[in-house]
């Protein structure tokens, strides 16, 4: 079995996708970008204390099942369930962060941020264990960047700096598209 080596992962320019591979790319880019959309909706309604927050939270948490079903196609139900557990923890973390900010509880906020990064570490480690072409450091980098942008988005919304929040959201959307591409490239390179 070859060692993990990101040099063996073709760049997007080197890849020529067939129809099945394009469907995989479309699936994972859609899932990651939907995460950015539903997370943004949740964050907005949670900060505004809107009654819609319940519906946005339900849809956001349903993203775990959507990802689980996609992962299951390639890795089976047991590994998909493990992913689902880790991913649910990861996407649920902003709830505690927003509560900490709105209640002015710095201890809760700090602990929640630490836990979010811990969740990212666990998710990155798990993804790297699934696929030879998914590097743990690369996943950590992507997930950490996602967290950083979401924290900036939350603070912008709390400060009512809506222009900055839109700029940050554009970067989140680009990042999640990249995450979907990276996930797909690993699957294709692995021969799945």
- Asked whether the predicted pLDDT for residue 4 surpasses 80, the reply is no
Residue 102 lies in a domain: yes
Residue 10 pLDDT: 55
Q: Which residues, other chains included, contact 111 with Cβ-Cβ below 8 Å and sequence gap of 6+?
A: 96, 100
pLDDT for position 191: 78
Residue 5, domain member (yes or no): no
Report if residue 109 sits inside a domain: yes
Residue whose structure tokens are 């002015």: 104
* Cβ proximity of 9 and 186 under 8 Å: yes
Domain presence at residue 21:
no
Burial letters 130-142, b for 16+ CB under 10 A, else e: bbbbbbbebbbeb
On the 0-12 / 13-18 / 19+ scale of CB atoms within 10 A, 28 is buried
Looking at residue 3, its pLDDT comes to 47
> Is 184 inside any structural domain?
yes
Whether 54 shows a pLDDT value over 60: the answer reads: yes
**Structural domain includes residue 57:** yes
- Structure-model confidence comparison of residues 186 and 119, the more confident one: 119
pLDDT at 120 over 90: yes
Mean pLDDT computed over 87-109: 95
Percent helix, strand and coil across the chain, each rounded to 5? 85, 0, 15
Residue 117 pLDDT class (50, 70, 90 cuts): very high
Range of the domain at 84: 32-189
pLDDT tens track for 10-25 = 565 655 666 576 677 8
According to the model, what pLDDT value does residue 100 have?
95
For residue 168, tell me if it sits in a domain: yes
Indicate the number of domains in the chain: 1
Q: Tokens representing 93?
A: 């973390």
Residue 124 lies in a domain: yes
Lowest mean pLDDT among 29-38, 96-105, 117-126, 180-189: 180-189
User: So what's the pLDDT on residue 149?
Assistant: 98
| pLDDT, tens digit (0-9, with 9 covering 90-100), for 123-180 | 999 999 999 999 999 999 999 999 999 999 999 999 999 999 999 999 999 999 999 9
């Amino acid at each position: 079995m070859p060692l993990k080596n990101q040099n063996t992962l073709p760049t997007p320019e080197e890849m020529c996708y067939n129809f099945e591979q394009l469907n995989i790319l479309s699936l994972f880019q859609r899932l990651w970008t939907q995460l950015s959309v539903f997370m943004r909706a949740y964050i907005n309604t949670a900060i505004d204390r809107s009654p819609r927050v319940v519906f946005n939270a339900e849809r956001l948490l349903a993203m775990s099942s959507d990802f689980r079903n996609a992962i299951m196609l390639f890795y089976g139900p047991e590994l998909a369930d493990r992913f689902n557990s880790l991913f649910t923890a990861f996407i649920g973390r902003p709830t505690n962060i927003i509560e900490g900010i709105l209640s002015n509880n710095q201890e809760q906020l700090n602990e929640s941020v630490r836990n979010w990064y811990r969740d990212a570490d666990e998710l990155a480690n798990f993804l790297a264990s699934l696929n030879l072409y998914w590097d743990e450091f690369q996943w950590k980098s992507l997930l950490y960047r996602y967290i950083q942008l979401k924290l900036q988005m939350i603070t912008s919304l709390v400060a009512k700096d809506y222009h900055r929040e839109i700029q940050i959201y554009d970067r989140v959307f680009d990042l999640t598209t990249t995450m979907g591409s990276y996930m797909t490239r690993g699957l294709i390179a692995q021969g799945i």
